[in-house]
Amino acid sequence: MHPSARIVAYHTAVNRMADGTEQRWPSAPTEVTIWQMRFNRLSGAEVSLIRKFFLESKGRDATNWDVTVDAVLYSNMSFNSDELVVTERQDGAFSLELTARQVVNS
């Protein structure tokens, strides 16, 4: 199992006034989820599978994939970056970090 962190976020619109004050309100009716995932000690084959999925998902552009965690479906997911950085460790294994966000909670 690889460690991950779940962050709950809310879309908020902000209107800044000329005097420096702000007015804030929810711009979406529900919360969205952000997943920070860290993968360690991956094999080259595992990195290839993750890289293939990342490229097929088009980085930040696509919002058409889902993930199920602990029997909860998170839909409308997108990666936070267009780059996938993979680090090769001294023992020949690989590690990488990914952040995915839920664009809209349906």
**CB distance 33 to 105 below 8 Å:** yes
pLDDT tens digits, one per residue of 84-106: 999 998 888 999 999 998 887 76
**Per residue in 70-80, pLDDT tens?**
898 888 899 98
Average pLDDT over residues 66-71: 86
DSSP state for residue 103 in the 8-state scheme:
S
pLDDT of res. 2: 66
User: Per-residue pLDDT tens for 15-54?
Assistant: 999 999 999 887 777 788 888 989 999 999 999 999 999 9
Expressed as residue numbers, the domain containing 86 is: 4-102
83: pLDDT strictly greater than 80:
yes
Distance CA 24, CA 35 (A): 25
pLDDT at position 1: 52
pLDDT for residue 86: 94
Neighbours of 65 (CB within 10 A): 16
Domains contained in the chain, number? 1
